[in-house]
Amino acid sequence: MKIVYLHIGIHKTGTTFLQNVLSENRDKLIKNGYYYPVSAIPNSSFPGHHFLPRALSQNIDKFDKISTKKTNFQTWEKLLEEINDHKISNKIIISAEDFCLLSSDEILKLQEYFSGFSVKIIVYLRRQDEFLLSLYSELVKKGYYKSIEVAFNEYSDRFNYFKLLDRWKSVFGKENLRIGIYQKGHCLLSDFFKKIDLEINLDDLTLRDVQYNQMINGKTLKVIRFLNKICIHNFKIPNDICKIIYMKRLQNSRPQKIIAMIPGYILSDRILSQDIKEYTLEKCRDTNQQVSQEYFSVTDQNLF
């Protein structure tokens, strides 16, 4: 029986980096008995299997930058055909962070597609205040105009890791969940390979010296958010036009350097205040404790 290692995110935990490594080293993975399919990958700029969760759900974030036009049931059929036609490797790696957004019913549908496979769920969690700041930055860069406090409340379900894990546990079983804690500075790639039972020398891999999904400075983010409110919310200018007019341009290094010169007493660089940080962690404290107890067998220690 083939094993599917299903990497479901969450967002902002190095998923783009991992997907690029897996895509760049597809041939080396095959030599080690693993296969990273090409089906359901939008293009080389987005090397995850992003079309798969979109084929299951109609509720993917409207600010997402990957089109959903090409996704339907045939997306899954093509993937399964590719996996079955590949006779060399018995271990399959699938990765798309939007899997973590699926509902219980959608996960059940996913399980139907993978019937006949042994499925292991790989998921990384990130401390919620750090996740909030990183997620908010991405949202603003895609057109969001509301405050970070409002964003936390609007996207509150995405900060409840206990509910997330419970959805997947109820379908695939606790024994098939492999949970990691994302921390900057730790070797994510080495940890990920351990979770998929792959022993490989990292020095043998092709690793591009690229920083993925870089956060922009706080002042620039505030300027973009202000323009989003005026252009997109007030004047109803289409998001795609705003991307061309100012969003992408302001994310370049030169405009950021100029905006960063604005004195702090006029425009602060801070996005996440201490009060909001404490509020976020307090809101998530009980569910984090549930995760610690249920999945790490820890009762006297915080999850992060």
Note down the domain range covering 56.
3-138+156-204
Residue 228, in any domain of the structure: no
Is the residue at 229 inside a domain?
no
| DSSP notation for 221-249 | HHHHHHHIIIIIIIS---HHHHIIIIIHH
Query: At residue 63, does pLDDT exceed 70?
Result: no
Torsion-angle region of 118 (φ positive above 0: left; ψ -120 to 50: alpha; else: beta): beta
- Confirm whether 165 is domain-assigned: yes
Average pLDDT of 37-52?
94
In the Cβ-directed half-sphere of 7, how many Cα atoms lie within 13 Å? 29
Q: What is the CATH number of the domain that holds 183?
A: 3.40.50
Number of domains observed in the structure of the chain? 1
Q: What is the pLDDT of residues 82-119, one digit of tens each?
A: 999 999 999 999 999 999 999 999 999 999 999 999 99
Amino acid at 288: N
DSSP lists the bridge partners of residue 119 as: 4
Cβ within 8 Å of residue 190, ≥6 positions away: 202
In a domain, 51, yes or no: yes
Are 60 and 68 in contact by the 8 Å Cβ rule? The answer is yes
Percent of the chain surpassing pLDDT 70: 95
Is the residue at 109 inside a domain? yes
Residue 284 lies in a domain: no
Structure tokens at 262: 């604005």
Q: What is the mean pLDDT of residues 60-76?
A: 63
Task: State the average pLDDT over residues 234-263.
Answer: 96
Whether 67 has a pLDDT exceeding 60, the answer reads no
Residue 291 lies in a domain: no
In a domain, 132, yes or no: yes
The alpha-helical segments, DSSP class H, found in the chain are: 15-24, 26-31, 51-56, 73-85, 104-113, 128-141, 148-154, 161-172, 188-195, 218-227, 239-242, 248-250, 253-260, 274-295
Contact 22, 189 (CB under 8 A): no
Whether the CB-CB separation of 125 and 291 falls below 8 Å is answered with yes
